[in-house]
Amino acid sequence: MTDTALDAPVVKARNLSKRFGKFRALKGVSFDIPLGRIVGVIGANGAGKTTLLNAVLGLSSYEGELSVLGLDPSRQRSALMKDTCFISDIATLPKWMKVVEVLDYVGAVHPKFNREKAMTFLSRTKIPQDRKIRALSKGMIVQLHLAIVMSIDAKLLVLDEPTLGLDIIFRKQFYQSLLEEYFDENRTVIITTHQVEEIEHILTDVIFIKDGDVLLNADMEELKEQFIEVLVTPGKEKEAMALEPISKGSTFGKSTFVYKNTDRKALAKLGETRRLGLADIFVASMTGEGQ
């Protein structure tokens, strides 16, 4: 692979738009996703997350320019899917097949499927291989689907609410496995989830999407340096407002203000400061002043 190919974004979108009648699900968004990153696409229901993923996967038409692994998803989907895996929020597997038959089938049709790795994942579950899919619980079906997809040597893994329906223990195990056993510098992962706190520690980048627009696209480390919350000392509220917070609230009877890219020394004079978690940054960005 050439240096140019290594430097090229895995996903490159320019003025990407999608309409459903008069409704604009995507409003001319532009962004790059580099190689070797774990990117969280975060947004409220109806923000455009699934529409964006469907365009990336070649599952829907779109306007604008879009390149995924150097391919046009709308015209070269077959080639794209050779190096891409996808889990939607609804895991679908043939209900009439037994678990072992599903593994046989995937092994026969996908040259990059590693059955040994799949068996390692399944050994951590209570899924019986001789049972039909229709007899499995919802959680077991999701676990089986995850085990299969995680065992395919893909360059791009797209996860749309991947752990929906799983208990907290397996969710934590899954993300730990994703980080330790799947992800490396030659793979890229895109995740959407409402359980932001559970994936925050594995993300390298985040994209906030609101009403079809990309509101923020940032490196996680840079993002956490940009935002700060101040528990304002009583009597200094006017000074705090003068520094133009992006959102405000109250905690234990004191005013709290969230700032973006504001001088830390000036903020420290107003009261106690703290760094925000990703969920708090998301809420402040979505509901803040001027948004």
Per the CB < 8 A criterion, the answer to whether 49 and 209 are in contact is yes
C-alpha–C-alpha distance, residues 160 and 147, integer Å:
15
C-alpha–C-alpha distance, residues 32 and 11, integer Å:
6
Name the CATH superfamily housing domain 3-211. Answer: P-loop containing nucleotide triphosphate hydrolases (3.40.50.300)
pLDDT at 267 over 80: yes
Cα 283 to chain centroid distance, Å, stands at 16
pLDDT in tens, 83-114: 998 887 666 788 899 999 999 999 998 888 99
Per the CB < 8 A criterion, the answer to whether 41 and 11 are in contact is no
pLDDT band for 233, please (50, 70, 90 cuts): very high
pTM: 0.87
**Contact residues for 201 (Cβ-Cβ < 8 A; gap 6+):** none
pLDDT in tens, 194-203: 888 889 999 9
pLDDT band for 290, please (50, 70, 90 cuts): very low
pLDDT in tens, 8-22: 899 999 999 999 988
Mean pLDDT of 170-187: 86
Q: How many residues does the chain have?
A: 291
How many other C-beta atoms can be found within 10 angstroms of the C-beta atom of residue 97? 15
Residue in the structure block whose two tokens are 């676990």: 143
Q: What share of the chain is helix, strand, coil (3-state, %, to 5)?
A: 35, 30, 35
Cα 267 to chain centroid distance, Å, stands at 32
C-alpha–C-alpha distance, residues 233 and 256, integer Å:
9
